[in-house]
Amino acid sequence: MTETSAFPAEFANEDELRKEVERRVRHTSLVLDIGCGIRPQDIFAPRVHLCVDPHLPYLVKLLEKSPPDRGRTVLNCSWRQIMKMLPDASVETVFALDFIEHLDRNEGSEFLAEACRVSSVQVVLFTPLGYYEQELPDDGVTDKWGMNGGIWQVHRSGWTPNDFEGWEVLVCRDFHPPETGKDGQPLPTGAFWAIKDIPPLPDKVLSHNTAKAPSHFNAQLLRVGRGVVRRFCRILRITQR
């Protein structure tokens, strides 16, 4: 499949695309929101919303501009750091919106595997349709919000629906306004969502086992994993007061 071919689920504009995404994303209680920046996912409000970003000023701005939310916990760390702390199927939904294009291809593939490992319901991703040039600013620091996060805004890879076999992909070719890159060539205007439904337990195979675990063991692990995350959040809320 190429950018000029027909897509199975294609929408004329951003509004139509958003409506269909909202219809297909399942509302869950425990969300891991990777690379949230100052705009975390707003499709629904989970009971526990873990907002992860490596650039602290973005999280500070998020807390300043957002209304109080007892369910939200901000974590200033990288995606690898948070994934290392999470057991299999320990969160319900993983969101990664405008995130994967900031990783190179190898790291992006590693992230997708980890997101599917820790999720028990869905992984939801949004990214430009193909490589969208966004380089380090001349001073190496500036970002468009004035929060010195330029290094985190660089695009290091481009992705297409071809990269998401087995995912549900929803595409809009005219999502971004037309722009040109430094070479004078037009940048991609399209964007897409990719949604991965995670097989329900006990069908999900644990990453550290080669055989499928018994259903009662999987169910127990899921309860333990979610309990670890919730206790972790309670501790963080206490330290943030």
Q: What is the CATH number of the domain that holds 104?
A: 3.40.50.150
**SS3 assignment, position 164:** coil
Residue 44 lies in a domain: yes
Residue 85 lies in a domain: yes
Q: What is the pLDDT of residue 139?
A: 72
With respect to residue 7, please indicate whether it lies within any of the assigned structural domains: no
Measured on CA atoms in the order 103, 104, 108, 111, is the torsion positive or negative?
Answer: negative
The candidate with the shortest Cα–Cα distance to 111, out of 122, 92, 96, is 96
Domain total for the chain? 1
- Residue 2 belongs to some domain of the structure: no
Q: Where are the alpha helices (DSSP H) in the chain?
A: 14-24, 56-65, 79-84, 105-118, 215-240
How does pLDDT run along the chain (241 residues), one tens digit per residue?
A: 334 455 668 888 899 999 999 999 999 999 999 999 999 999 999 999 999 999 999 999 999 988 778 899 999 999 999 999 999 999 999 999 999 999 999 999 999 999 999 999 999 999 999 887 877 677 767 777 677 666 767 888 999 999 999 999 999 998 877 776 677 766 668 999 999 999 986 655 555 433 333 333 344 444 544 555 555 555 454 444 4
Task: Report yes or no on 8 lying in a domain.
Answer: no
Residue numbers of the domain that contains 65: 14-240
Q: Does residue 3 form part of some domain?
A: no
Tell me, yes or no, if the pTM score tops 0.95: no
Residue 186's contacts (CB-CB under 8 Å, 6 or more residues apart) are 178, 179, 180
Tell me, yes or no, whether 9 lies in a domain. Answer: no
Residue 159 in any domain: the answer is: yes
81: tokens are 């750091």
